[in-house]
Chain A
Amino acid sequence: MEVSTARRTGLVLIVFACSSLLHGSRGENSPKPTGSVTLLPPIVPDDGPQAFPDAEKANMPVFTMDYPRIQIPFEITMWILLASFAKIGFHVYNKITVWVPESCLLITIGLIVGAIMHSVHEEPPAVLNSNVFFLYLLPPIVLDSAYFMPTRPLFENIGTVLWFAVVGTLWNSIGIGMSLFAICQIEAFGVQDINLQENLLFAAIISAVDPVAVLSVFEDVSVNEQLYIVVFGECLFNDAVTVVLYNMFNFVAEMPVVEPVDVFLGVARFFVVGLGGMGFGILFGFTAAFTTRFTSRVREIEPLFIFMYSYLAYLVAELFSISSIMAIVTCALTMKYYVEENVSQRSCTTIRHVVKMLGSISETLIFFFLGVVTITTEHEWNWGYILFTLLFAFVWRGLGVLVLTQIINPFRTIPFNMKDQFGLAYGGLRGAISFALAFTLPENIGRKQLFITATIAVILFTVFLQGISIRPLIEFINVRRTNRNLDTINVEVHCRLMEHTMAGIEDLCGQWSHFYWKDKFMKFNNRILRKILIRDNRAESSIVALYKKLELQSAMEILDTVSGDISAAPSVVCLSEDKKGSAKPRKKFLAPDLKSMHEILSKNMYKIRQRTVAYTTKHALPNESQSREILIRRHASIRRSIRPGSFQSSTPSKSHKYFSLPAGKNLDSKFPPVRQSDTDDQETMSEAAYPSRHSRSVQPVRSSSSSRAMMPLRRLDTLTEVHSVDMVDESSGQDRGRPGRGTSRTNSASGDPQIPVRHRHGDNESGSADRSAEEEQRPSLAPPSWAVEPRDEAARNPLLRRPQWNSKV
């Protein structure tokens, strides 16, 4: 805790330095007319260009400063930097962000900076106006949410999501607006001059729910998928609804008289705006997907298309003043699936990173500004109005969820229970969108100050109070949870099995529901859409996708291993080649090869998580662990390549001879025990020589390959015996015949390829067991004991691998 406070003070100092820098520079330059053409203030004289004959003034200026020229981008950069520093600051001490949502912290920092600025009588930068917000800040936020939206659950719950987003927002706006209008009639509050239109406008602003903070909590406690997706989807689509309502009421608020026909036109417009936005989104989404079909030669600009097309969708929708948010959301949802298959892995990562980065910057800035503005603007504080706003916002949200759930529940297969409803209602935090909308209200609204104040009050209240208390409450009432960290092959297989079963049974009982439609869509997708939009358009089931990933990983591993110690490792590639070969050798290789392959697979299984990008925090990228993991393994392989190389060079002929051991020869005779233990010894030595590098990932390698190799292998051995008489009969017979040798060889065979894998496996699943096993092993590896158990050493020696098929002849 001490450290964190120290860091905190450091952070505040940085913040102060930055702001004082800003302040100082602006103070110096603000009196200058920014619009003037005097670009170089120190040298341009008053009499202008006619000073030509004046020789001494034409001297080359040694040092010039031109702040007004760079002022705006400079300030924006500084603000972004400042906000990013703040973000770094929170994550230095992890526990803060667990209990206090990040938005709270950002607002707090904003408040501090605002206080500093206020104390030196500095105006906040007038960066946030309506255009900036709608054209630059909003699109990244929405794109971020939409791009990382888990598509499948979304479409499974699309009805509920839209119901809550559209009807819920309407309900909230109208309910809050009407009740506030009623409050305005009470003379004691002194706000009679706010008319109904303005109240509705204000209500629309504060009914935009932005549960970023809640989503991260939901994810941490892993609430059930339905609740999560409804909250996520609601926040996405209700932005669209809110902005439409905002524009509508904004328009209406300026009209002196509202006629009934205007109401109908308004309703019609609502649909035109929403559906039109969707149409543009789909159009641009498909165009984007289609474009990426042809970018295989220009990988470097691939990510650009994603951003340009989604932004284009946004701008075009804005051009026709239809829902631009709807457009960008549908665009992102449509293209994501196809684009990610078309573009290279690297581009895909880039896209994700940039989307995340832009979204997170926008949001950070808005929250940050919220804090600053809270302090620095003049507020119009009206107790009655603001307190009732808070009350109504809370009550109508709760009521809305209650009523709307009762209506939607009969149509849901899994109805929301009371706990879910509580989560939904309490998750209704207001956030960045509300603030920005309020801040960009037109000046001709009489009580703009009051509205801003009330909006800020609502945001602060919900973000701080609800945002902080929701985690304990959710945990307390014990909302139904879903375990999301399952990504084993079995689960995958059974998910697919269940889906197909359900679709089949639905077909049989002749009823349509989403499985039916999903089936239909998948068929359409596979037959038509994929052919048009995807370069390599083979339909792929998700099991295969998972499997491919596994294969890629093991291939990578093998590559690593091969580069490490020459051609010693079995590769999946070579395995498959072997299989394609003639029937005779195939029979010989297949069983052991399959064994090791499965071994690789099964070991890999433990870490292949997050196949679907399903749940992402607002501020974290999905799939990070995977890439990091691969990185670690790369390091491991480099290390390995150093290690064996050092001793292989000393005895190259021997090891080479060993690898190319002729068929039918006994391995052990070819391989004197002395040599085995020698290499082993050296290995231990070299391992000891690099204790600092990833010591925790290196150490279990040996132990796990030695101690664990046995069991799974035997298991598989027997597994294969059960079923496939065709290929295992002879090898199993052999194993039976020579139990000791058989096992030791298979161990050595399959022990190696997993070395890079194993340490992960060991770390994860059975770290402690391995460690203890390692403790036991260590002494026996010590030099004095090398002669004692040469046979076992042979099994463990990473050099002795793969030759067992030769011996089997």
Chain B
Amino acid sequence: MGASQTRYEDQDQHQDQHQNQDLADKTGFSLEQIRNLNNRFQQLSGNEETISRKVLDGVPALANNPIRKQIIEAFFDKRNQRQDEVGSCQEIGFQQFLMVMSHFRPPTLKTTAEEKEALRREKLRFLFNMHDTNNDGTITLLEYRKVVEELLSKSSAIGQEAARAIADAAMLEVASTNVPHMAPEDFYEGITFEHFEQILKGLEMETRMHIRFLDVSTTAMTCGKSTS
């Protein structure tokens, strides 16, 4: 499918510029970054317009990531695509891809404190969405356990039992920090986003959740090309 690639690179330069400018305004990426990400997107999708889960599943660089499923799912999660929709889609286009990526833009020197706070919330929301798969606004113990199990699945020394116990302990911790005076018959359904924010309150996010999107193209160096 050389057609779509040439469309982005040679032919309709003006319209391309315009479109990219639009995306840049929406996401905050620079034009170079968008071009780079677009190249990568084309590379991943094999010059298709959209990417499906299967394609991302096949990325070899991702093969060893314990939470591969969650990461891929995050790309198809409409909540992460800034469109005020819920649910998940089967395929994503470049714009959605970019939207998800834009969660991880690092702050610059010009970012104000409020903007940083907003970014932080956004990143927390992203994490929260990774847990909250059924989109009911709470992370239930079952959901939490699943993530922890996945997270530990690569280390052979630890069994599912322990992973489960860790998740339970973590959950209990959330419950005890957020609802310190619970009546005996109360029932903690799950972590809401507010509680989620609460438990990670002191954690510094801005140094952790970001990627440096390079201005120069590095796709030539990557070995992460999807299998044909």
Across the interface, which residues of A come within 8 angstroms of B44, CB to CB? Answer: 508, 510
Give CA–CA (A584, B186) in the complex, Å: 30
Instruction: Tell me if A770 counts as interface (CB < 8 A to partner B).
Output: no
Cβ contact within 8 Å between A715 and B176: yes
B43 in the interface, Cβ–Cβ < 8 Å?
yes
Q: Which A residues are in CB contact (< 8 Å) with B180?
A: 766
Indicate the member of B155, B166, B209 with the most A CB atoms within 10 Å: B166
Distance in angstroms between the alpha carbons of A597 and B172 in the assembled complex: 11
Q: Does chain A have a CB within 8 A of B71? A: yes
Contact in complex: A489, B101 (CB < 8 Å): no
- Give Cα A795 to B108, complex, Å: 58
- In the complex formed, the residue of A with least CB distance to B41 is A509
> For residue A519, which residues in chain B have a CB less than 8 angstroms away from its CB?
64
Q: With the chains together, A550 CA to B186 CA distance in Å?
A: 27
Q: How far is the CA of A495 from the CA of B202 in the complex (A)?
A: 12
B125 contacts chain A at the CB level, 8 A cutoff: no
Q: Mark A524-560, 1 if CB is under 8 A from B, else 0.
A: 0000000000000011110110010010000000000
The closest CB in chain A to the CB of B98 belongs to A509
Distance in angstroms between the alpha carbons of A636 and B127 in the assembled complex: 42
Question: Is A696 located at the chain interface by the 8 A CB criterion?
Answer: no
List A contacts of B184 (CB < 8 A).
Answer: 710-711, 714, 743
**B residues less than 8 Å from A504 (CB atoms):** 62, 65, 67-68, 71
Chain B min CB distance to A712 (Å): 6
Instruction: Report the stretch among A37-45, A302-310, A413-421, A647-655 that lies at the interface.
Output: A413-421
- Of B37, B67, B172, the contact of A598 (CB 8 Å cutoff): B172
Complex CA distance for A716 and B207, rounded to whole angstroms: 34
A601 an interface residue at 8 Å Cβ cutoff?
A: yes
Do most interface residues of chain A lie in helix, strand or loop, or is the interface mixed?
Answer: helix
Task: Tell me the minimal C-beta distance from A606 to chain B in angstroms.
Answer: 9
**B186–A715 contact, CB under 8 A?**
yes
Residues of B within 8 A of A540 (CB): 155, 157-158
Q: Is A469 an interface residue (CB 8 A)?
A: no
Are A488 and B199 in contact, CB atoms less than 8 angstroms apart? Answer: yes
Nearest-CB distance from A312 to chain B (Å)? 34
Q: Which residues of A contact B179 (CB under 8 A)?
A: 715
Chain B interface mostly helix, strand, loop or mixed?
A: loop
Residues of chain B within 8 A (CB-CB) of A511 are: 36, 211-214, 218, 222
A566 within 8 A of B: no
Would you call B182 and A714 a contact (CB within 8 A)?
yes
The complex places the Cα of A579 from the Cα of B159 at a distance, in Å, of 13
- Contact A719 B175, beta carbon cutoff 8 Å: yes
CA distance A399 to B85 in the complex (A): 51
Which residues of the other chain, B, contact A743 by a CB distance below 8 angstroms?
A: 184
CB-CB under 8 A from A599, the residues of chain B are 172
The answer to whether A541 touches B152, judged by C-beta atoms less than 8 angstroms apart, is yes
- Residues in A with CB closer than 8 Å to B218 are 510-512
How many angstroms between the C-alpha atoms of A226 and B106 in the bound complex?
15
Q: Given A544-B152, A743-B184, A509–B66 Cβ distance below 8 Å?
A: no
Give the distance in Å from the alpha carbon of A721 to the alpha carbon of B142 in the complex.
11
> A512-B218, A543-B152 are contacts. A718–B188 as well, Cβ < 8 Å?
yes
Does B24 sit at the interface, judged by CB under 8 A? Answer: no
Asked if residues A413 and B106 are in contact (CB atoms below 8 Å), the reply is: yes
Task: Please give the distance in Å from B2's CB to the nearest CB on chain A.
Answer: 20
A530 CB to closest chain B CB (Å) equals 12
Instruction: Give every chain B residue within 8 A of A166 (Cβ-Cβ).
Output: none
B171-A719 in contact (CB<8A):
yes
Of A488, A509, A539, A598, the contact of B156 (CB 8 Å cutoff): A539
Known: A225-B204, A501-B130, A507-B62. A512 touches B145 (CB 8 A): no
Which chain A residues border B37 with CB–CB below 8 Å? Answer: 509
A596 CB, min distance to chain B CBs, angstroms: 12
Known contacts A489-B170, A719-B175; A510/B66 CB under 8 A: no
A115 in the interface, Cβ–Cβ < 8 Å?
A: no
CB distance from A512 to the nearest CB of B (A): 7
Chain B residues positioned under 8 Å from A712 (CB to CB): 172, 175-176
Most buried by A among B108, B154, B173, B188: B173
Q: Please pick, from A409, A501, A543, A550, the residue contacting B67 in the complex, using a CB distance under 8 A.
A: A501
Q: Could you tell me the distance between the alpha carbons of A414 and B168 in the complex, rounded to whole angstroms?
A: 34
Pair A501/B71 contact, Cβ less than 8 Å: yes
Contact yes or no, B185 A714, CB < 8 A: yes
- B119 proximal to A (CB < 8 A): no
Nearest residue (CB) in B for A481 is B204
Contact A494 B127 (CB under 8 A): yes
Residue B193 at the chain A interface, CB threshold 8 Å:
no
A494 proximity list for chain B (CB < 8 A): 127, 200, 203
The reply to whether the CB of B118 lies closer than 8 angstroms to some CB of chain A is no
Q: Does B96 contact A (CB under 8 A)?
A: no
**Within 8 Å of chain A (Cβ to Cβ): is B31?**
no
A594 interface hit (Cβ, 8 Å): yes
Q: A510 and B208 in contact (CB under 8 A), knowing A602-B169, A722-B142, A722-B189?
A: no
A630 at the interface (CB under 8 A from B): no
Q: With an 8 A cutoff between CB atoms, is B56 at the interface?
A: yes
Beta-carbon contact of A489 and B156 below 8 Å: no
B120 at the interface (CB under 8 A from A): no
> Considering the chains assembled together, what is the distance between the CA atoms of A529 and B75 in angstroms?
35
Q: Which of A502, A507, A547, A711 sits near B224, CB closer than 8 Å?
A: A507
Are A491 and B206 in contact, CB atoms less than 8 angstroms apart? no
Determine the chain B residues whose CB is within 8 A of the CB of A413 once the complex forms. 106, 207, 210-212
Cβ-neighbour of B151 out of A225, A493, A711, A723 (below 8 A): A493
Q: Are A714 and B186 in contact (CB under 8 A)?
A: yes
Known: A501-B71, A504-B68. A597 touches B200 (CB 8 A): no
* Residues B65 and A503 in contact, CB atoms below 8 Å apart: yes
Q: Which of A417, A490, A723 contacts B141 (CB 8 A)?
A: A723
Within the assembled complex, what's the spacing in Å between the Cα atoms of A224 and B209? 16
Q: Which of B44-79 contact A (CB under 8 A)?
A: 44, 56, 59, 61-62, 64-68, 70-71, 74-75
Distance of B187 from chain A, by nearest CB (Å)? 4
Interface assignment of A482: CB less than 8 Å from any CB of chain B: yes
> Are B61 and A507 in touch, CB under 8 angstroms?
yes
- Chain A residues, CB < 8 A from B182: 711, 714-715
Q: Give the residues in chain B near A601, CB-CB below 8 Å.
A: 165, 168-169, 172
Q: A694 interface residue, CB < 8 Å from B? A: no
Please tell me if the beta carbons of A498 and B209 are within 8 angstroms of each other in the complex.
yes
Check B101 against A491 for contact (C-beta < 8 Å). no
Chain B residues with CB under 8 Å of A574's CB are none
Give the docked Cα–Cα distance between A228 and B157 (Å).
Answer: 34
Within 8 Å CB of B94, what residues of A?
none
Q: Which residues of A contact B221 (CB under 8 A)?
A: 512
Give the complex CA separation of A301 and B57 in angstroms.
51
Instruction: Decide if A491 touches B169 in the complex (CB within 8 Å).
Output: no
Q: Give every chain A residue within 8 A of B89 (Cβ-Cβ).
A: none
Q: CB-nearest residue of chain A relative to B175?
A: A715
Most chain A CB atoms below 10 A, which of B140, B155, B156, B183: B155
Q: Does A483 count as interface, using CB distance less than 8 angstroms?
A: yes
In the bound assembly, the distance between CA atoms of A413 and B104 in angstroms comes to: 11
Taken residue by residue from 126 to 166, chain B's Cβ proximity to chain A (1 for < 8 Å, 0 otherwise) reads as 01001000000000111001011001101111100110011
Query: Can you show 27 pairs from A to B with CB atoms below 8 A apart?
Result: A224-B207, A414-B107, A417-B109, A491-B199, A493-B147, A500-B66, A500-B151, A502-B210, A505-B211, A508-B75, A510-B40, A512-B221, A513-B211, A538-B157, A539-B156, A540-B157, A541-B151, A547-B158, A547-B165, A601-B172, A711-B181, A711-B183, A712-B175, A714-B184, A715-B187, A722-B140, A766-B180
Interface residues of B (CB under 8 A from A): 36-37, 40, 43-44, 56, 59, 61-62, 64-68, 70-71, 74-75, 101, 104, 106-109, 127, 130, 140-142, 145, 147-148, 151-152, 154-158, 161-162, 165-166, 168-177, 179-190, 199-200, 202-214, 218-219, 221-222, 224
Known: A500-B65, A594-B168, A718-B187. 17 other contacts (CB 8 A): A414-B210, A417-B109, A483-B203, A491-B200, A493-B166, A501-B74, A508-B59, A513-B211, A539-B154, A547-B162, A547-B166, A598-B169, A601-B169, A710-B184, A712-B176, A723-B145, A743-B184
Listed from nearest, the 9 A-B pairs whose CB atoms lie closest are A483-B202, A507-B61, A718-B187, A601-B169, A504-B71, A714-B184, A723-B142, A538-B157, A489-B170
